[in-house]
Amino acid sequence: MTVPDATGPAARPRPTPLRAVHERLGAVMTGFAGWLMPLRYRSETAEHQAVRTAAGLFDLSHMGEITVTGPGAAGALNYALTGQPSRLQPGRARYTMICAEDGGILDDLIVYRLAGEEFLVVANAANTGVVAAALAERAAGSGARVTDRTADYALIAIQGPRAARILAGLTTASLDDLRYYASARAAVAGRDVLLARTGYTGEDGFELFTSPGDAEHVWTELSGAGRGDGLVPAGLAARDTLRLEAGMPLYGNELSRDVTPFEAGLGRVVKLGKPGGFVGQAALASRAETGPVKVLTGLAMDTRRVPRHGYPVLWDGSRCGTVTSGAPSPTLRMPIAMAYLEPETAKLAAGDAETRLAVDIRGRAEPARLVDLPFYHRAS
């Protein structure tokens, strides 16, 4: 058999401030977007289950942090992004996108409004440079200042139904008052952090932006506080299956320069009516009018063979789309996938009682069922 290269092709990936912690925990490390990241610590399936039933601790320090500050910041972001950050209250955050002039997605982002004239834009690791450059270019002349501050932050996430009660013991912040997609400056384990109630797992949870020097202390304290509650460290492998079950897109898989937010089923992030215009507006308005050229759908398999990124999707034996992400779902106990289908086929397949839909898994057509996204919805 051939085994995956444990550290990936990237030469000398950049370690995070938590590298020593991962080494002590015996993590399997992998190169990801130029960073040396924990892929898993023990069993990725057990890590996944822990996040669904208890809590998991993630090192996400590879994510990009870009600040946009100054009197022109809100206006510059309205122009640069598909959303309308000027409408955010300080202390609130929004999922949004940055598109090219032709409407193609450059990245998906979370924008936090930290104060009236201070925004934090969190970008995917692989796209941080592109996003920072695009923001700087689009903010030119606005008076806003764009700074890539990725090196100034570590990012730790604690996710899962027990995340709040574990964190509550270490902070004076009132977590009940910190709503989903809100953020606040807070002390956690005696260190100043930006505490946000956001995540990428489909569970309740928090993301803690710390200084690199505080990261190990905060990680260790959280880890200790959560021991009795079943908190475990969780790697990128678990993060990927968690977000897939939750129907959350991943840049490079579901999202790319080749699609607009409408193909991804995320037209809601495009605020066509906002005042002042924005980059990609004409192309996106036109796509909103004509409808998406392909549709992101959920697939569930009855076989145990797993659809993977790039596998063809078939309708009556003919190619009708492509798998963007696929994995064995630990929660549903079957292989699941997201795939782009031709809009016509997606409509037919939605009403199809027979199994005319299939995924070509390494040369053999395996029956697939169209299912609603997300695959998993947390209770409550």
Partner 1 sequence: MTVPEELRYTPEHEWVAFDGLTASVGITDYAQNALGDVVYVSVPGPGTRVTAGEPCGEVESTKSVSDIYSPVDGEVAEVNGEIEDDPALVNSDPYGAGWLMKVRLDNDGSEPEGLLTADEYSQLTAEADAGAE
**Residues in touch with partner 1 (CB under 8 A):** 1-8, 28, 39-40, 43-45, 237, 240-241, 304-306, 308, 327-328, 362
Rounded-to-integer distance, Cα 347 and Cα 349, Å: 6
Place of tokens 């090219």: 100
Q: Which two tokens stand for residue 279?
A: 């980059």
Cβ closest to partner 1, residue 6 vs residue 133 = 6
Nearest distance, CB of residue 1 and partner 1, angstroms:
4
Supply the minimum distance, in Å, between the C-beta of residue 313 and partner 1.
17
Neighbours of 245 (CB within 10 A): 23
Cβ proximity to partner 1, 8 vs 161, nearer residue: 8
Closest distance to partner 1 from the beta carbon of 335 (Å): 8
Closest to partner 1 by CB, 44 or 148? 44
Q: Cβ of residue 306: shortest distance to partner 1, in angstroms?
A: 5
Name the residue nearer to partner 1 (CB basis): 165 or 304.
Answer: 304
Shortest reach from residue 346's CB to partner 1, in Å = 26
Cα–Cα distance list, 247 to 94, 208, 265, 298, 334 (Å): 17, 23, 11, 8, 15
C-beta closer to partner 1: residue 222 or 359: 359
Q: How far is the CB of 41 from partner 1 (least distance, A)?
A: 11
Query: From CA 360, how far away is CA 42, in angstroms rounded?
Result: 31
Of residues 2 and 380, the one with the C-beta less far from partner 1:
2
